[in-house]
Homo-oligomer: A and B are copies of this chain.
Amino acid sequence: MPGTPPTRFVYLGPEGTFAEQALRTVPAAERGSREPARSVGEALDVVRAGEADAALVPLENSIGGAVGVTLDELAEGDPLVITREVILPVEFVLAARPGGSPAEVRSVAAHPQASTQCRGWLRDHLPEATVVDVLSNGAAAAGAAMGEYDAAICAPIGATRHRLAVLADKIADHPDAVTRFALMSRPGPPPPPTGDDVTSLAVYIAHDRVGALLSVLMELAVRGVNLTRIESRPTGEALGRYVFFLDCTGHVADVRLGEALQGLHRVCAGVRFLGSYPRHRWSPAASDRPVPAPAGLSDVDYADAAAWLTRLRAGRLS
């Protein structure tokens, strides 16, 4: 029911991963239920089936890039919309059963992406340890808790959940790495505009020519709409056929974004709306500040122009 916050959440499991940690930053999730799912597809299908109200899944990582499976689900499955984004610093810890010490660590369980992101730290601090690939950060923590491995690379929440001691924290080579998660729900009216919103789209273009992509960008540029992200994914039909995932500044309720969306709808082979939601300002960096509408492109400017056109059509020029 619109207006009622979702109460049943699912997230990409298992327990004790960054996805769970990200979900815990959503106030409503603290009051609701939180169930892990085995895959992004399963998490989204649970929402599609009405068995949960919202799913939290990863969209992209500042190191590893887009999460392809999430994008593919967004583009092709039954429609879902993003209602919130959560950006979480990727702060890996090395965790072990209490009482251990780094010097005794001979085996480290880690998801391959995690060990890749901590490669420098491992080389410097545990050059002799064997790294064992496991399927998730949560599984790494669970394995260490059960004594299968001497230690695990995991999220802080993984150490907490599995009662592990943190031997070292912030061990990732890129200290600024973040993961961006999306909270996805069945279609419904978007959250109200805040003045600093993001609108996500999946756009299909008819041809693989520079002209077609130029047309898409011009529809945005003419309305002063900026892109904060563009990702291409193959459509699966043939090489050179892509769907583009765009994150635009603004909200579907904004006049200029509405006009740009209509323009894309006319010139593209297909456009799927993936939601308008508040930007998550997780950093004070200058480049993250909201960008005001360029001159002539505010809702007021649009209203002025529309009123002028109405007068013209009625023959009133002064």
- Interface, chain A (partner B; CB < 8 A): 2, 60-65, 68, 78-79, 81, 87, 174, 176-178, 180, 187-190, 207-211, 213-214, 217-222, 225-234, 236-242, 252-253, 258-259, 261-263, 265-267, 272-273, 285, 287, 296-297, 301-302, 304-306, 308-309, 312-318
* A217:B227 contact, CB within 8 angstroms: no
A190 to chain B: which residues have CB within 8 Å? 313, 315
A81 to chain B: which residues have CB within 8 Å? 315, 317
Known A-B contacts A208-B227, A229-B208, A242-B230; the reply to A176 vs B237 at CB < 8 A is: yes
Q: Give the complex CA separation of A256 and B178 in angstroms.
A: 40
A174 to chain B: which residues have CB within 8 Å? 236
* B234:A61 contact, CB within 8 angstroms: yes
If over half of A's interface residues share one DSSP class (helix, strand or loop), that class is named, otherwise mixed; here it is: mixed
A265 to chain B: which residues have CB within 8 Å? 304-305, 308-309
A228 to chain B: which residues have CB within 8 Å? 208, 240
A177 to chain B: which residues have CB within 8 Å? 236
Instruction: Count the copies.
Output: 4
List 14 A–B pairs whose Cβ atoms lie within 8 Å, in order of A's numbering. Answer: A60-B239, A62-B238, A62-B239, A81-B317, A176-B238, A208-B228, A214-B214, A218-B222, A230-B232, A232-B232, A262-B306, A262-B308, A266-B296, A272-B317
A221 to chain B: which residues have CB within 8 Å? 210-211, 214, 218
Q: Give the complex CA separation of A297 and B218 in angstroms.
A: 15
Q: Closest B residue to A215 by CB, please name it.
A: B222
Q: Closest B residue to A87 by CB, please name it.
A: B239
Q: Closest B residue to A271 by CB, please name it.
A: B308
Q: Give the complex CA separation of A68 and B116 in angstroms.
A: 13
* A266:B297 contact, CB within 8 angstroms: yes
Q: Give the complex CA separation of A309 and B256 in angstroms.
A: 12
Query: What's the minimum C-beta distance from A86 to chain B, rounded to whole angstroms?
Result: 12
Q: Give the complex CA separation of A242 and B62 in angstroms.
A: 9
* A266:B226 contact, CB within 8 angstroms: no
> Can you name 18 extra interface pairs (CB under 8 A) apart from A178-B238, A187-B317, A231-B232?
A65-B233, A81-B315, A174-B236, A177-B236, A187-B318, A190-B315, A208-B287, A213-B227, A213-B230, A214-B214, A218-B222, A222-B222, A222-B263, A229-B242, A230-B232, A238-B287, A261-B312, A266-B304
Query: What's the minimum C-beta distance from A304 to chain B, rounded to whole angstroms?
Result: 7
Query: What's the minimum C-beta distance from A184 to chain B, rounded to whole angstroms?
Result: 12
Q: Closest B residue to A117 by CB, please name it.
A: B236
A211 to chain B: which residues have CB within 8 Å? 221, 226
A207 to chain B: which residues have CB within 8 Å? 287
A297 to chain B: which residues have CB within 8 Å? 266
The 5 closest A-B pairs by CB, nearest first: A266-B296, A262-B305, A189-B315, A187-B317, A188-B315
